[in-house]
Amino acid sequence: MQTNMHKAKQLDKHDTLGHYREEFYTSSEKIYLDGNSLGLLSTRAETALLHLLNSWKEHGIDGWTEGEYPWFYLSETLGAMTAPLIGALDKEVMITGSTTANLHQLTASFFQPYGKRTKILADTLNFPSDIYALKSQLQLKGLNPDDHLVQVKSTDGNTLQTSAIIEAMTEDIAFIILPSVLYRSGQILDMETITEEAHLRGIKVGFDLCHSIGAIPHQLSAWDVDFAFWCTYKHLNGGPGSVGGLYVNRKHFGTAPGLAGWFSSDKAKQFDMEHNLTPATHAGAFQIGTPHVLSAAPLIGSLEMITEAGIEAIRKKSLQLTAYFMNLIDKELAGYGFTIANPRSDSLRGGHIYLEHKEAARICKALKANGVIPDFRNPNGIRLAPVALYNTFSEVWQTVQILKNIMEEKTYTNYENKRGVIA
């Protein structure tokens, strides 16, 4: 055991990203492993928020065009800061709306059923919100979701096969929405191959990047992905309810927004107050309403830090953390009923590990009581996300020892095996 702890400390000693932990509000009494649900606050994000709050105080309405970060152009500014993380051009990315609002916008804009092609292809493992949105978009077009939403099934309940996704690309599919990383198991889908195969069949394809952006590199433009959308409060550490983002491939510039609004406008024309919209000539056309300035502000600091650290370095450490985690689980928790249900391969594993156990809900409660913050997923899943910018190898080692103690002493039996209101 001492040898293992020594190894963790050695790994921390040689961690080139370790100093970033000092910039986050961590607690000496807690090990926070839920950054794939909500990232921690950093001092840079806090400073950025206070800076834009002060611009309101100092400039009033002139803050729209004055100050270091004029609000009128904030979505574009943050889009340009985000673009390198997903392999896109500045004008292809916009920080705006929310995950679901942006999915509605992109579906309304690019799902155009015609002839035989009247169906949307998704999957059975996606986050429910995406499926809710797709069903409502079908209904708005007078199409029955029971007939026109096709969902690729999983053979093991946790992962999807690329071959099954391709096989489902039949001649009646017009539009595909898939997650880049599955929110439960953390599996990375082969976005490049899926996009290529969809385009060979004349199908537009987009990805939900909520569990990948800020954790793994992407090359959306090189892969010719049609569009993507995401939240910014997980690995981007933008804060609770922070503004979402969208990507639209430049080949689609000029497509009219399906849900037009005030900020869909060409900025040079926006205040002409004409009742005929002149859309922006880039991804800005797919904005709808006024930017949520104070909800977007923390991203200035967060994206600055991620850019400085480098997404490749973040990915490298993330893989090291999760590999170390799995290795310890294999050695220390064998015989306690845990199954590592996330992919083990580096090329398929996202930024978290996923354990299954029949007592998962009560084990999560026991972990919290012992200062470890996990994430329970109904019915039997435990997500643990060691984040490269603020978690340590020593925390991973400590978590496994706490888990082992919980199982040995059966302290999890003190809790009901039922999720809380939020899980």
CATH of the domain at 121: 3.40.640.10
Closest CA to 138 of 167, 168, 180, 174: 174
User: Would residue 16 count as lying in a domain?
Assistant: yes
Decide which of 258, 277, 308 is a domain's last residue: 308
> Was 253 annotated as part of a binding site?
no
> Was 107 annotated as part of a binding site?
no
> Was 130 annotated as part of a binding site?
yes
User: Would residue 37 count as lying in a domain?
Assistant: no
Count other Cβ atoms within 10 Å, centred on residue 414. Answer: 12
User: Would residue 293 count as lying in a domain?
Assistant: yes
User: Would residue 421 count as lying in a domain?
Assistant: no
Average pLDDT over every residue of 179-197: 98
> Was 128 annotated as part of a binding site?
yes
Total tally of structural domains belonging to the chain: 2
- pLDDT digits 0-9 by tens, 160-180: 999 999 999 999 999 999 999
Query: What CATH number is given to the structural domain containing 20?
Result: 3.90.1150.10
> Was 170 annotated as part of a binding site?
no
- Report the pLDDT value the prediction gives residue 225, as an integer from 0 to 100: 98
- pLDDT digits 0-9 by tens, 266-302: 999 999 999 999 999 999 999 999 999 999 999 999 9
Domain extent at residue 117: 47-308
Angle, CA of 171, 176 and 181, to the nearest 5°:
140
My answer on whether 130 and 176 are in the same domain is yes
Average pLDDT over every residue of 59-71: 97
User: Would residue 419 count as lying in a domain?
Assistant: no
**Which pLDDT band, with edges at 50, 70 and 90, does 417 fall under?**
confident
Count other Cβ atoms within 10 Å, centred on residue 214. Answer: 29
My answer on whether 351 and 266 are in the same domain is no
Average pLDDT over every residue of 237-260: 98
Decide which of 269, 293, 308 is a domain's last residue: 308
Report the C-alpha gap between 181 and 346 in whole angstroms: 13
Decide which of 263, 292, 308 is a domain's last residue: 308
User: Would residue 41 count as lying in a domain?
Assistant: no
Average pLDDT over every residue of 171-199: 98
> Was 262 annotated as part of a binding site?
yes
Checking if the pLDDT of 2 tops 60, the result is no
Report the C-alpha gap between 70 and 137 in whole angstroms: 34
- pLDDT digits 0-9 by tens, 307-359: 999 999 999 999 999 999 999 999 999 999 999 999 999 999 999 999 999 99
Q: What is the CA radius of gyration of the chain?
A: 22
My answer on whether 172 and 316 are in the same domain is no
Mean pLDDT of the chain: 97
Structure tokens at 148: 């026109």
- Report the pLDDT value the prediction gives residue 4, as an integer from 0 to 100: 77
Average pLDDT over every residue of 218-235: 98
> Was 100 annotated as part of a binding site?
yes
My answer on whether 288 and 209 are in the same domain is yes
Contact 174, 120 (CB under 8 A): yes
Burial class (CB in 10 A: 0-12, 13-18, 19+), 105: buried
How many residues belong to the chain?
423
My answer on whether 301 and 315 are in the same domain is no
My answer on whether 209 and 284 are in the same domain is yes
- pLDDT digits 0-9 by tens, 42-56: 999 999 999 999 999
> Was 156 annotated as part of a binding site?
no
pTM here is 0.97
**Which pLDDT band, with edges at 50, 70 and 90, does 3 fall under?**
low
DSSP category for residue 142:
T
> Was 233 annotated as part of a binding site?
yes
